[in-house]
Amino acid sequence: MYELIILSLLMRWNAHGYLIASVINDIIGPYAKMSNGRLYPLLAKLEEQGLIEAFVESERASHGDRQHRSYAITEAGRKRFHDLMLDTTSNPGDYQKLFLQKVTVLELLNPAERLYLIDHYINYCQAHVLHLTAEAEHLVSDVNDREYMKASQLEAIVNVMHHMIEQWRLELEWARNLRKKEVLQAEGQEVL
């Protein structure tokens, strides 16, 4: 996910490490933070892979000259960004978080690619709703499960599952609205 965030940021403008760290921390916070000890090795790795390139900027500061190491995306980095954006099979357990990152830069893809990602996410949400619904119904109806589980435990588990179903239904509604806006935009209609 961090690679996608970094490349997404650099697709729009060049940035120095402090800005990259700040954006990542704004996105993943408030309880997770990316340390410099984790960010700069990742930036070095991306640079070694030829996905980004570093350059030095000088800035006049009140206490003398200060140099900032900034980063720009390369053509290989643009291709990698595109591949990461269209990848829907890696990290299926974390795909919800990945999709939320992708939505912020969908405009960097063509309309067909945007619809492909949104449609995939709609199916992803529907799969969660269907799976959780079937599993909750199975728990309630299967007499064998009730033999080793107290009624209060079963009720608590099913309650959590229904909560998760509602969260996925909200996510599904949001994704369907994204799709509607994308279709309207593709048709040249005004999107509110």
> What pLDDT was estimated at residue 61?
46
Report which of residues 186 and 189 the model is more confident about.
Answer: 186
At 132-165, the pLDDT tens digits run: 999 999 888 875 556 666 778 888 999 999 999 9
Average pLDDT, the chain: 89
pLDDT of res. 104? 93
With beta carbons less than 8 A apart as the criterion, state whether 77 and 3 touch. no
* Confidence at residue 32, expressed as pLDDT on a 0 to 100 scale: 80
* Residue-level pLDDT at 51: 98
Residue 126 tokens read as: 């529907």
The mean pLDDT value for 78-99 works out to 94
Burial status of residue 65 (CB atoms within 10 A of its CB: 0-12, 13-18, 19 or more): exposed
> What is the structure's pLDDT at 29?
77
Under a CB-based contact definition with an 8 Å cutoff, are residues 77 and 69 in contact?
no
171: pLDDT strictly greater than 70: yes
How is the chain split into domains, by residue range?
2-89, 110-186
| Residue that wins the pLDDT comparison between 61 and 177 | 177
Q: Given pLDDT bands bounded at 50, 70 and 90, which one contains residue 57?
A: confident
Q: Give 3-state DSSP helix, strand, coil % of the chain, rounded to 5.
A: 70, 10, 20
Provide the 8-state DSSP code for 31: S
Q: For residue 91, report the phi and psi dihedrals to the nearest 5 degrees.
A: 55, 55
What pLDDT digit, counting tens, does each position of 3-53 carry? Answer: 999 999 999 999 998 899 999 988 887 888 888 889 999 999 999 999 999
pLDDT at position 182 is 94
Q: What is the rounded CA–CA span in Å between residue 71 and residue 84?
A: 19
User: Is CATH 1.10.10.10 the right assignment for the domain spanning 2-89?
Assistant: yes
